[in-house]
Amino acid sequence: MSSDEVVVVGAGVIGLSIALAAQARGMKVRVIEREAPAAGASAGNAGAFAFPDILPLASPRIIRQAPKWLLDPLGPLSVPPRYAHRIAPWMLRFWRASWPDRLRASTVAQAAMMQHAQETLEPFLKRNSLIDMLRREGQLQVYEGEREFKASLEGWKAREEAGIPFKHLKGDEIAEYQPGLAPRFTHATFTPGWATIDDPKDYVLALAERFRADGGEIEIATAEALVPGGVKTSAGLRKGRVVLAAGAFSHHLARTAGAKIPLETERGYNTTLPDDAFDLRMHITFGGHGFVISRLRSGLRVGGAVELGGLDLPPNYARADAMLNKAKAFLPGLKTTGGKQWMGFRPSLPDSLPAIGPLPGHPEILCAFGHGHLGLTQSTATAEIVADLLDGGKPKIDLQAFSPARFSRF
């Protein structure tokens, strides 16, 4: 193991998990963050460890639904007109990633990553005295009618082949798991392997506190450029082996080293309601409408959907309102007053897999970004993989599908 300092760019759940994993192996670690820990997507996500979610977003089902969704500016998938020309190359790659051979390969890779994430989560939490924040309540995926349910069965077959347990429900069985759903939801599937964290922002802040308590430094500065031997920041040059974990901003830094990676931004919206807004027993996914509702320590969070709109356009909180209105219709007893809205940036690559490994042309710089909706879920697996690479060891899963260089083929 080298004695050089490790410089992690990004203090979200990925960056801080990596920092703690490297620190646990005796490395000296510094974290660079432009705002504060948990200032980005790590603060406003649904709090889920979505281990059964092995199916890539790039799939024939999504391609078939996309035209209908795109016609609704407040629907599950939206591209603001001002951003359409910029997103076109990414959408082409997304379409190619949905081809059957690539979809199979991505699903196999995602399943391996999810298994590694599941295996590393509890040891990581116990090592950092955070296991009490974990809840294992499961998840309910609900369907409107026989047709929508049957359309999901191919995906459940893939999960079954990956060894993921689940139970299909119908009619009155659903209320035994979650009372109060509208009768329009005639079918559901329960996944017991789904877990949640008490509150994602509190969790990431706790990671930061533990990292500092063990001697780590979090420097508030803007990372401006990757340079030989380190990273140039607004506070000066920071030397060391660099781990690029800056979420949706990562590709801008990668470009300073001459690497072009097709990272795009999924702008996610949510509303967090008071915790007495509904008797929610578990995380519910309304897959046909592209959003979820989850129970956190801070309240009930209604959010999701995909707006491919980059980093600079102003938020469109009408999207959060639309999801909240649907949630009220789907859960008639839901009280929708007193909520707090939020918008954040999810870093998304066209094939739904993160970029983990050396930056093309720069073996001394490691990438750890592009997790899309699965940053929290895959955080501990990513941390162990990056710590293995920093330590000169062999990661426990094959990283070929996650290589940052994979996009150079296109």
pLDDT in tens, the chain (410 residues): 344 799 999 999 999 999 999 999 999 999 999 999 998 888 899 999 999 999 998 888 888 887 777 778 788 888 888 898 889 999 999 999 999 999 999 999 999 999 999 999 999 999 999 999 999 999 999 999 999 999 999 999 999 999 999 999 999 999 999 999 999 999 999 999 999 999 999 999 999 999 999 999 999 999 999 999 999 999 999 999 999 999 999 999 999 999 999 999 999 999 999 999 999 999 999 999 999 999 999 999 999 888 999 999 999 999 999 999 999 999 999 999 999 999 999 999 999 999 999 999 999 999 999 999 999 999 999 999 999 999 999 999 999 999 999 987 54
Q: Copy the structure tokens of residue 146.
A: 């026989």
CATH for 6-409 is: 3.50.50.60
One-letter amino acid at 65 equals: Q
- What is the dihedral angle through the alpha carbons of 313, 314, 320, 322, rounded to the nearest 10 degrees? -80
- Letter string b/e over residues 350-370, b meaning 16 or more CB atoms within 10 A of that residue's CB: bbbbbbbbbbbebeebbbbbb
- What is the dihedral angle through the alpha carbons of 390, 393, 398, 402, rounded to the nearest 10 degrees? 10
One-letter amino acid at 297 equals: R
d(CA 341, CA 336): 12
For residues 277 and 188, the answer to whether their CB atoms sit within 8 Å is no
Indicate the pairing of strand 29-33 with strand 217-220.
Answer: parallel
- Residue 409 has a pLDDT of 59
Tell me how far the alpha carbon of residue 396 is from its chain's centroid: 21
- Residue 3 has a pLDDT of 45
CA distances (Å), 233 to each of 123, 199, 215, 301, 345, in order?
34, 31, 21, 35, 22
One-letter amino acid at 390 equals: L
Q: Where are the domains of the chain?
A: 6-409
* pTM to 2 decimal places: 0.95
